[in-house]
A = this chain, B = another copy of it.
Amino acid sequence: MAVGEANVDFYNVSGVRLAAISAGIISEALDVVLFEFVEGSSTAGIFTQSLFAAAPVILGKEHLERFTPRYFLVNSGNANAATGDLGMADALDCCKATSQLTGTRPEQTLPFSTGVIGERLPVEKITAVIAELTENLEEGNWLQAATGIMTTDTRPKIASRRFEVAGASVTITGIAKGAGMIQPNMATMLSYIATDAKCDPALLKELLMGAAEKSFNRITVDSDTSTNDSCMLTATGASGVDLSVDATRAIFLVELTSLMIELAQGVIRDAEGATKFVAVTVEAGPSNDVCLEMAYAIANSPLMKTAIFASDANWGRIVMAIGKAKVDIDIKKLDIYIGDVCLMSGGGKAPDYTEASGAKVMEDEEITITVRLNAGDCQQTVWTSDLSHEYVRINAEYRT
């Protein structure tokens, strides 16, 4: 199941080559991906804040601090998380194998893993395919890479932008994976974005964090945060367009944010068992924190999500979810809308609301819930999916 059509079009990014292959970690599907970045590229990353950050996350952060990455080695099927010191050694072995075959330092490879938590990484299966991966590197392999990082995803997620700035053409292309265990707390799952703009790593990280705050940090499938969340942005500089110029950077950030919102929404549209795409907006609030707390209270409520699944205009569930938000607001001032139908105002059911009007708007595949607090001018939007039978089936049978 998934909501809406998925994009499959993209632009190559000059200076980035990719390859994907099956190492047979779980099945015959593509499960190991290699990214290569041209020398001189800058990379920024944001990572999970889980206490149990996986071995590749810990090692990758260390490598990123000390050297400029030339390769990302990504596997799906095994998260190499909660694997202790052995997991750290396994991740390092993968980097060393890449290093030997590419003539770079081991620290210039960043390792990434996603899949089952708590199992040893099958290092030999992965290192056995690296030589072939290096031979297959091509600029046009983004869609294969997007497929190779999938776990319970039903389709690859890719987004791309090409725009003119400072008299030159700039490209940004990115991929993401993730379908469950999604309430990123910094980044989400795995996402790799590259551009041919030129940018130093510190500024690149600032841009990445700014865009993540409006995209990956605004989605939730099930309130669960992964041990492996990583979101990477690499700038090859091949276009010659320099992001240290304020006006150029502003345009770039708009495009980057738009692309990352598309990827983040793509994760939600393909969420485990999703039959609906739900945008929850809390507006006219006294602060962004209040708006966000309430938006997440609604978006993470299992009862709200099952009502959405059932296309049931049981707006009491939304009221209940608002009620559990830990904020101080006057509920008599509050208006609630589903789509353009007002459900509630003045603390009770809206005068014009009818069960038929509510039922009609709940039938849509894309649903917007808007809560207007009438207590300020702040606004936040969070995107989520419904809670379906299929979510339970997928997660009950995940390892079987």
Select from chain B the residue with minimum beta-carbon distance to A180: B303
**Stretch from A12-20, A59-67, A127-135, A305-313 contacting the other chain:** A305-313
CB–CB A82/B319 < 8 A: yes
Binds B, one of A139-147, A187-195, A247-255, A345-353: A345-353
> How close is A123's CB to chain B, nearest CB, in angstroms?
15
The interface residues of chain B lying within 8 Å CB-to-CB of A400 are 310, 312
Is A265 an interface residue, CB under 8 A from the partner? no
Q: Contacts A51-B331, A52-B322, A324-B185: A316 and B117 contacting too (C-beta < 8 A)?
A: yes
- Count residues on chain A whose CB falls below 8 Å from chain B CBs: 68
The answer to whether A322 touches B396, judged by C-beta atoms less than 8 angstroms apart, is no
| Residue A315 interfacial (CB < 8 Å) | yes
A196 at the interface (CB under 8 A from B): no
Interface of A is mostly: loop
A327–B223 Cα distance when bound, in Å, is 17
With contacts A117-B317, A300-B223, A316-B118 known, is A392 near B396, CB below 8 A? no
For A82, the chain B residues whose CB sits under 8 A away are 315-316, 319, 344, 347-349
Count this chain's copies in the assembly: 2
Contacts of A322 in B (CB 8 A): 51-52
Is B224's CB under 8 angstroms from A52's CB? Answer: no
Contacts of A346 in B (CB 8 A): 84
* Assembly CA distance A150 to B285 (angstroms): 37
Contacts of A392 in B (CB 8 A): 306, 309, 387-389, 391-392
- Quick check: B323 and A227 within 8 Å, CB to CB? yes
Instruction: Indicate if A173 sits at the interface (CB-CB under 8 A).
Output: no
Contact assessment for A348 and B302 in the assembled complex, using a CB-CB cutoff below 8 Å: no
Shortest beta-carbon distance, A303 to chain B, in Å?
Answer: 5
